Structure 1
Amino acid sequence: MSQLPMVCPSMTNAQLLSIDSMRTFVQREIEPLSSAMRYGAVSRNQLLELTQAVSEFGLPGMIIPKALGGHGGDWVTQGRLFEELAMGSVELAWQVLINIFASTLVLQQPALCERYLPDLIVGRSLFGITLNGSTSALHGRRKGAEWILDGRSDIVAANLHADVLICAVREHSQASSFLLLDRSVDRYEIRHYRDIEGRQQTCMQVTQACLPIERVLGDANADSPLTRHLFDVSKLHEAVVHLARGRSLLDASIARAKANTQFGRPIAAQHMVARQFAELATQLEAARLMCSQGFEQLDNGRLSGDTASRARLMAYETAKRIERRVSRIESHPSQTGWQHSDALLHLLSENIADDAQHIANALIGDLPGASDES
């Protein structure tokens, strides 16, 4: 169980119960499989069993109206459920997040909603997302009421077993669209490869796929509202993953400090150590409240990109601060209690360092000489 009491502003008993239930489920069922998830040693059927189990707690169906088979809940609760899931497996959490993206997109398309939303809500399908890059892209051309797709994407946020892909497709230099590729009717390949530095990457290849015009989901240009929304929601959930990292590190350190003694008493009982733990827990809660502000904005209809960026930066820096402070408290290298991969974190949003620079420029850009120093 978590060592840290968490502030839950304006949450009902039902919401708190759902979060506690998710936490218990993750500890019992997800954490034992986290290593297999991290190394890709989980079969498609095993992964679907997990996504179906998670769906019973409201991921990804929390924000889907009850009339359409969802839970009819809110983004704030969904964000807290996502944090609990990320505590057990970031890899599974990111698959669920992609399914959340997919459910919100197909929800806006009546022609696709009936076909794909029911399976998404109950976790019976695995979605993925591909984006165009400077050296790889999917290209499409319209032919009557169809799109013809060709090409390769090296920016792939998808499991090798993904049933459906939401793909950014370049029509020409000035126009791109998101289209839906369905493995059951379209031929595409997802595979791993090694880059020049020996790191495992994922690519997707498609040849002469014919898609009906109804599979178009929206504008995929970099500055389109849909793309910006995708990036901002991804940043906000990335912030939650950093929260989970900081929480895991701090929980593990507190547990060790309670169990280990120095000068005849538990290390956690020492005034300076206890004070540092309290400060770190407070900073972690402040970062969580920043994330909650972003989820509240989603509930109100629009997430501010500035809020998402600040939440991610704050959560990231808080997790790093916890890691450094814990290392000093324990005075020797130790297991962090956090062994998850962050390989997908950068795929669906801007680099965090660039984002931090944008925040800084917004704060000081109008001062004399600020632009020269940035």
Structure 2
Amino acid sequence: MDFNLTPEQEAFRQSVATFVAREVIPVARELDERGEFPWALFRRCAEMGYLGLRYPEAVGGADADALSFNLMCEELAYGSASLAAVVAMQGLMGTDFVYRFGTDDHKRRLLMPALRGEKIGTIAMTEPDFGSDLGGIQTRAVRDGDGWRLTGRKMWITSATVADFFTVAAKTDPEAGFKGIDMFLVEKGMPGLSVGRRIEKMGVRASETSEVILQDVWVPAENLLGEQGSGFRNLSAILAEIRTMTGALGLGLGRAALDASVKYARERIQFGRPIGQFQAISHKLAEMATQLEAARLLVYQSAWRIAQGRPDMKLAAMAKLFAAEMANKLADEATRIFGSYGFAMEYAPQRYYRDARFLLYGGGTHEILKSVIAKEMGV
């Protein structure tokens, strides 16, 4: 059993870390305050091949393994959770269905430009009244000639304000629950498609999130991504990846909170010595470091299993659950270690605290994940 990264993985991780240190961290506060899609950094990520990391070279990808993809997500989140969120969407959920089920034309016009950062893709599943209960979604897809007509509303859609194409979950059989869900490719400019109000969020503010409205949007038959009735099954095929990736975001954010806390504890002088020399603070830091390492082992093992072609749904749920809770705990502790400065907008801990909340919902709420884990245990 070898817990070390390969030389190639370590070299890649270090290259992303260098990019983050030089180009992301210096502008992370500005990204958060402006709350706009991070175009410049997004294009830099495209130039370095991050968007196509998990895809084969035949479509413009790098054919990297799942652990390398998660290392990238972790390092990006160390610098900016917002940038990490938009890159993860582009490199996984926003493009995966087009890669697996799109036509050659779809791949040429949409997927390959997306991996170059020239087009933006996203996935639209959540609705105003249905989040965890995906089987209850109300968006409908009805046969119409040699195509389908989609009607419904989507909510909390990442990058919708800038997206060129959407993978939309819709019911083709309203009575079939999860089995009645299918995925459709909807392109910007199609009649009836509109992006509604932008949602003002407390965290990951540079990852723009909006509602999407579909009013009798007609799509050709080939825009049904996968066989009819297979949408949820096809989504489940990447669910372990999505949850592991979300856990990797938690690793990066948690590590940023810990590093900031250690640095501050060494520099802040109270009662004649650095506060890190007081047991109350040093024990906080020890506990934070322990939780981070435990989360890393879960996330890396889950990513390794995916790379081996053996994704483990229970392990992925555990990794996401534990890493996201860890990130929230570490961000909270950072604000405490910083004292009143942790409450000041000019210091990073408040941003870590706000950004970490996003991890509690993306990839599945923890109440749902605990039920998934229990079911996998046979309970």
What interval of TM-score do these two structures reach, taking the shorter chain for normalisation?
Answer: 0.7 to 0.9
| Aligned counterpart, 1:68 | 59
CA gap 1:114/1:201 in 2 versus in 1, 3 angstroms: closer
* 1:204 is the counterpart of 2:212: yes
Q: Secondary structure at the match of 1:301?
A: coil
| Aligned counterpart, 2:95 | 103
Moved more, 266-275 or 297-306: 266-275
What displacement does 1:129 show? Answer: 1.4
> Does the 8 Å contact 1:239/1:291 carry over to 2?
yes
Which residue among 55, 59, 66 is the counterpart of 2:46?
A: 55
| Aligned counterpart, 1:4 | none
* 1:309 is the counterpart of 2:317: yes
Q: Secondary structure at the match of 1:315?
A: helix
Q: Which amino acid aligns with 1:337?
A: P
| Aligned counterpart, 2:117 | 123
| Aligned counterpart, 1:266 | 274
Give per-residue Cα distances to partners, 1:166-188, cap 9 Å, x unaligned. 10122231222101111155552
Count of residue pairs brought into register by the alignment: 351
Q: Quick one: distance in 2 between partners of 1:305 and 1:104?
A: 18
Q: Secondary structure at the match of 1:149?
A: strand
| Aligned counterpart, 1:337 | 349
CA gap 1:279/1:154 in 2 versus in 1, 3 angstroms: closer
The aligned runs of 1:355-374 (5 Å cut-off) are 355-359=369-373, 365=379
Q: Quick one: distance in 1 between partners of 2:160 and 2:30?
A: 14
Give per-residue Cα distances to partners, 1:170-213, cap 9 Å, x unaligned. 22312221011111555521121679xxxx97321123322122
Give per-residue Cα distances to partners, 1:58-95, cap 9 Å, x unaligned. 32212222233221211101101111111222222222
| Aligned counterpart, 2:204 | none
Q: Quick one: distance in 2 between partners of 1:150 and 1:324?
A: 42
Which residue among 257, 265, 269 is the counterpart of 1:257?
A: 265
Q: Secondary structure at the match of 1:209?
A: strand
What displacement does 1:126 show? Answer: 1.2
CA gap 1:96/1:324 in 2 versus in 1, 3 angstroms: closer
| Aligned counterpart, 2:108 | 114
TM-score when scaled to structure 2?
0.79
The aligned runs of 1:72-221 (5 Å cut-off) are 72-100=63-91, 101-109=93-101, 110-111=103-104, 112-131=106-125, 133=127, 134=129, 137-173=138-174, 174=176, 175-185=180-190, 187-192=192-197, 202-218=210-226
| Aligned counterpart, 2:241 | 233
What displacement does 1:332 show? Answer: 5.5
Q: Quick one: distance in 2 between partners of 1:275 and 1:336?
A: 21
Q: Which amino acid aligns with 1:151?
A: G
Q: Quick one: distance in 2 between partners of 1:178 and 1:39?
A: 35
Identity %: 24
CA gap 1:150/1:22 in 2 versus in 1, 3 angstroms: same
Q: Secondary structure at the match of 1:91?
A: helix
Moved more, 175-184 or 274-283: 274-283
> Does the 8 Å contact 2:95/2:122 carry over to 1?
no
Q: Quick one: distance in 2 between partners of 1:240 and 1:146?
A: 39
What displacement does 1:217 show? Answer: 1.5
Give per-residue Cα distances to partners, 1:192-247, cap 9 Å, x unaligned. 1679xxxx973211233221222121379799322223443322222122222221
Q: Quick one: distance in 1 between partners of 2:240 and 2:173?
A: 25
Moved more, 200-209 or 164-173: 200-209
> Does the 8 Å contact 1:95/1:126 carry over to 2?
no
CA gap 1:204/1:269 in 2 versus in 1, 3 angstroms: same
Moved more, 89-98 or 29-38: 29-38
What displacement does 1:282 show? Answer: 3.2
What displacement does 1:345 show? Answer: 4.4
Moved more, 282-291 or 327-336: 327-336
CA gap 1:36/1:188 in 2 versus in 1, 3 angstroms: farther
Give per-residue Cα distances to partners, 1:296-329, cap 9 Å, x unaligned. 1221224222111100121133234434555665
Moved more, 158-167 or 146-155: 146-155
CA gap 1:130/1:221 in 2 versus in 1, 3 angstroms: farther
RMSD (Å) for aligned C-alpha atoms? 3.3
TM-score when scaled to structure 1?
0.80
> Does the 8 Å contact 1:58/1:78 carry over to 2?
no
Q: Quick one: distance in 1 between partners of 2:46 and 2:144?
A: 39
Q: Quick one: distance in 2 between partners of 1:267 and 1:105?
A: 51
> Does the 8 Å contact 2:81/2:253 carry over to 1?
no
CA gap 1:187/1:9 in 2 versus in 1, 3 angstroms: farther
CA gap 1:121/1:362 in 2 versus in 1, 3 angstroms: closer
Moved more, 327-336 or 249-258: 327-336
| Aligned counterpart, 1:290 | 298
Q: Which amino acid aligns with 1:314?
A: F
Q: Which runs of 5+ in 1 are unaligned?
A: 1-7, 366-374
